[in-house]
Structure 1
Amino acid sequence: MQKKEIRKSYKFAIKTALYITMVLTVLIIVFSLLTKSFNIWAILGFSVISYIISFFIIQYRVERFIYRRVKKIYDDLTLLESASLRTQPITTDMATLTQEIGKFAQDKKLEIETLKVREEYRKEFLGNISHELKTPLFTVQGYVLTLLDGAMDNENLREKYLERANKGVERLIYIVQDLDMITKLEVGDLSLNIEPFDIVAVVESVFDLLEMKSAKKKITLTFDMQYPNPIMVKADKERIRQVLTNLVVNSIKYGRIKGTTEISIENLIKNKVIVRVTDNGEGIAKANIPRLFERFYRIDKSGSRKEGGSGLGLSIVKHIIEAHDEKIYIESELSVGSEFSFTLEKVK
């Protein structure tokens, strides 16, 4: 940031010296008239000398007075480095100081507002993660306590309750693994295995994997057109498979019965392709879109977890794409559907 020039002002000393000189001149004229020793040249000489002496004394004293206080303010507020203050003329311009303090106050106000937003996010995040963790924990605890209370003597109940408790543990492990992955992606500890691969084949494998899940809601998984030739891209194949899986699962989860999830692969620019995942599901309100990639953020505030998942899928998608130095986009209209798209580098 360019340092603001600190101007040296003589206005205060000039005016004050002039006032003092005028007062002294009036007094000396009155004294001369009373003593009948009036001499115009002596009075003019006295006025000039008084003005010069007053000016230098006032300027020096004001500089020293303001310098000590201004420097303390600068040091306290860290507006300027002490070194830069020493190397520049000492200011007696209060407008400069006022402007600097005003800017400092504005910056601090913005900082406080940012901290408030972060605090709200932190509270919401902790509330969400506690909700996500306590549901499977209480499930496991409930079945274990029931078994300890005597249900373990019933062979059928024992097996059923242990299986349900195991599902609760698996859900906990799934949440913790997803959190661990996001943390590694954020700090850059998760290494990417960049290699060329056919994105069409990866999409087909995702369709095969989720065929039964989509069949339950009679949702059709399809390409927008036939892709007879491979489309080679350069990325981490397994991470991109995870991105596509999360996006398609999301479209099935919130898709309408007998709906469609369509994937298209288009050339964006010379060395980029864009992959689009489009559905005709319930869509997303504009107010929710900016927060869609936050951890555990739920559009449905009812707390329902009937669809399962860790609540981290879209956050993982965003972090994986950004780890590739690529972009992810979303377009959605309530009751019409959503489109998630992301870019990938093409193999030359």
Structure 2
Amino acid sequence: MSKKFKRSYKFALNTSSYITLFLTGLIALYEYIQLEVNLASIFIFAIICFVFSFLIIQLRIEYFIYKRVKSIYDSVSILDKSSLGGQRTTSDMKTLTEEVERFARGKKLEIETLKVRENYRKEFIGNVSHELKTPLFTVQGYILTLLDGAIKDKKVRKKYLSRASKGVDRLIYIVKDLDMITKLETGDLNLYIETFDLVELVESVFDLLEMKSAKKEISLSFDKKYSPIYVEGDKERIQQVVTNLIVNSIKYGKKGGTSEISFDEVKNSKIMLRVTDNGEGIEKEHIPRLFERFFRVDKTGSRREGGSGLGLSIVKHILEAHNEQVYVDSVYGIGSEFSFTLPKSDEIQEEETDASLLN
């Protein structure tokens, strides 16, 4: 019971009791000296003195603590001013301490989040400048060489213009990818949801990347033969997702290795697509940052392979726009597996249900 009793009330009660006893004793002594002892008047005086002392002390304590705590709120801004409102702040110091600590923890977490974002911003700006600087300087170098007189030599002119054109293409590629991520993040990129055959889409990606995979002697294949698998999504964007994942597996794959596609039906009527390779794999500490813009596990090798460094980030944003996620499982030195899900087409599900009922 005593634990539940507010400390300020206990303080006011004890103080009031001491004051009451002192004043009552003083009056009793006075009455005794005057030889006119009146117990009723002494008792009434004691009650009045106690109640008055208790109220005055309690109100003063509340005002005292409220005034100082509010000053802390205003100066330190730990709490929002709206949290005080027009009410009095409690004079229970334990409650006040817990409240201040709770808000302090919230502010600390907010500050830490801002620091992480600031570091990410600095790193992002550095990566953007690095990615743009390389092709820009390349293009500038070839153009300056031509202006210095090499333009008169037809062979050199053609070769340098061709290389400058490749540098410009790389710049356009990076800017387009950045523009797409920005649109995905702000919701400005509209998705055209349709039903399509996921197996056919993967086969078309295999055809597009046939020459790229042949250069590294990496085979592109399914783990088994599949019938058509119909899903719902933006076909063009999903093709970009599959392309980026397969390109990534080729880029980091071992010479003579494999990039294998498999499909699984999971709960909630969804199809999971897996891209598995037996490449170099990814170290565990790098996995949480894989989908950041411009993040590269191999800073030198991956740049030699080309690309904007935004492939996996685009994959993540496109799938999030579909309300889906991308998953990664990798063992360093053995290989990696990237996977994502898409909803199975309702039309196909209805056809399968009707067929099963007929049978």
TM-score, length-normalised on structure 1? 0.90
Name the aligned partner's letter for residue 288 of structure 2. Answer: P
Who is 2:118 aligned against?
A: 119
Tell me by how many angstroms 1:10 deviates.
2.4
CA drift of 1:149 comes to 1.4
8 Å CA contact retained: 2:251, 2:302: no
Tell me whether 1:131 sits opposite 2:130 in the alignment.
Answer: yes
Q: Counterparts of 1:276 and 1:139 in 2: how far apart (Å)? A: 38
Q: C-alpha distance in 1, partners of 2:147/2:164?
A: 13
Q: For residue 82 of structure 2, what is the aligned residue in structure 1?
A: 81
Cα gap change, 1:221 to 1:303, in 2 (>3 Å)? closer
Q: Distance in 1 between matches of 2:7 and 2:14?
A: 15
Q: Is the 8 A contact 1:10 1:92 kept in 2?
A: no
Q: Which residue of 2 aligns with 1:256?
A: 254
Inter-partner Cα distance in structure 2 for 1:37 and 1:339: 102
Match of 2:275 in 1: 277
* Equivalent position amino acid for 2:308 in 1: S
Distance 1:18 1:93 in 2: 20
Judge conservation of contact 2:270–2:341 (CA < 8 Å) in 1: yes
Question: Residue 90 and residue 261 in structure 1: after superposition, are their counterparts in 2 closer, same or farther (change >3 A)?
Answer: closer
Q: Distance in 2 between matches of 1:194 and 1:18?
A: 78
How far residue 27 of structure 1 moved from its aligned partner, in angstroms, is 4.6
Note if contact 2:296-2:302 (Cα within 8 Å) is conserved in structure 1. Answer: no
CA gap of 1:62–1:270, structure 2 versus 1, over 3 A, is closer
- RMSD of the TM alignment (CA)? 2.3
State the SS of the aligned residue for 1:296: coil
State the alpha-carbon separation in 2 of the partners of residues 204 and 304 from structure 1: 25
Residue 321 of structure 2 is aligned to residue 323 of structure 1 = yes
Q: Deviations over 1:208-258 (max 9, x none)?
A: 11111111111010000011x211111111111111111111100000000
Mapped partners of 1:113, 1:222: distance in 2: 46
1: CA distance, partners of 2:213 / 2:172: 24
SS at match of 1:16: helix
- Using the TM superposition, give the Cα deviation of residue 72 of structure 1 relative to its aligned residue in structure 2, in angstroms: 5.0
Partner amino acid, structure 1, of 2:151:
M
Q: Which runs of 5+ in 2 are unaligned?
A: 1-5, 347-359
Provide the rounded CA distance (Å) in 2 between the counterparts of 1:98 and 1:240: 53
Aligned to 1:239: 237
1:103/1:38 CA distance change after superposition, 3 Å: farther
What whole-Å deviation, never above 9, does each CA across 1:36-69 have from its counterpart, x for those lacking one? 7584725554433322221122223333333444
Quote the sequence identity (%).
64
Q: Name the structure 2 match of 1:157.
A: 156
1:284 partner SS: coil
Structure 2 residue identity aligned to 1:280: N
Equivalent residue for 1:62?
61
Is the CA contact 1:8–1:91 (under 8 Å) kept in the aligned structure 2?
no
Partner of 1:148 in structure 2?
147
Which residue of the partner structure matches residue 90 of structure 2? 91
> Shift of residue 17 of structure 1?
1.1
Partner of 2:19: 20
1:286 to 269, 281, 284: 284
Q: Tell which deviates more after alignment, 266-275 or 45-54.
A: 45-54
Amino acid of the structure 2 residue aligned with 1:188:
G
Contact 2:8–2:58 (CA<8 Å) still a contact in 1?
no
SS in 1 for 2:297: coil
| Structure 1: gaps of 5 or more residues | 1-6
Structure 1 residue 26: Cα displacement: 5.0
**Which secondary structure state, in structure 2, belongs to the residue aligned with residue 189 of structure 1?**
coil
What is aligned with 1:172?
171
2:51 maps to amino acid: I
Report the count of equivalent residues.
338
Shift in alpha-carbon separation, 1:303–1:135, aligned structure 2, 3 A: farther
CA distance in 2, matches of 1:273, 1:48: 80
1:120 deviation in Å?
1.2
Match of 2:356 in 1: none
